[in-house]
Amino acid sequence: MSEEVPLKPVGKEDIRRLELALLLGTLLRPDVLEKVRSSEDRLTWLDSLLIAAGALARDRAGYSASKIAEELGRTEATVRNHLAGKTEAGKLVKETYEEIKSKGSLEIPIPTLGPQKELEDRLKDYEAKLSELRSKLDDLQRVVDDMRKLLGI
């Protein structure tokens, strides 16, 4: 599913779409995910990314820093710092915007929850061992059945 992301938003809906694309595109980058995971203050990190994405989307729509600050509930200085890339979040969100602008689209990597290939290989090994054990169990059951016939049990 693909949705057009407006680089120059016109109206609230366009701003929301650009803001969401910037937030998700930035947050799901492997380097950003690692920073968020290793950060002791995750909520602050996520909040900064959200504010930076909101500020940039509104800036591209032509909003003034004071209007952006009012809408986002932050100071003008905070908004200006994000827009100028003086904050880590502002810098990362700008990179995401530039990627969308240069490529015309945004590739959002879907993070894996672990070493999937390794887990798949281990599962195959366990399934093979299980099959082998079932075969041995069947052989033993036949031996037991043969012994019962011989003993008349």
Q: CB 101: neighbour CB atoms within 10 A?
A: 12
Q: Is the pLDDT of residue 114 over 70?
A: no
Q: CB 57: neighbour CB atoms within 10 A?
A: 27
Helix ranges (DSSP H) in the chain: 12-27, 30-38, 42-60, 65-72, 76-83, 88-103, 116-151
Q: Is the pLDDT of residue 103 over 50?
A: yes
Task: For domain 12-103, give the CATH number.
Answer: 1.10.472
**C-beta of residue 65 within 8 angstroms of C-beta of residue 76:** yes
Give me the residue spans of the domains in the chain: 12-103, 113-153
Q: Which two tokens stand for residue 9?
A: 């938003």
Q: Which two tokens stand for residue 74?
A: 């932050």
pLDDT digits (tens, 9 = 90+) for 56-93: 999 999 999 999 999 999 999 999 999 999 999 999 99
| Band of residue 121 on the pLDDT scale cut at 50, 70, 90 | confident
Q: Give SS3 for 46.
A: helix
Letter for the amino acid at 18? L
pLDDT digits (tens, 9 = 90+) for 46-63: 899 999 999 999 999 999
pLDDT digits (tens, 9 = 90+) for 18-41: 999 999 989 888 888 888 777 777
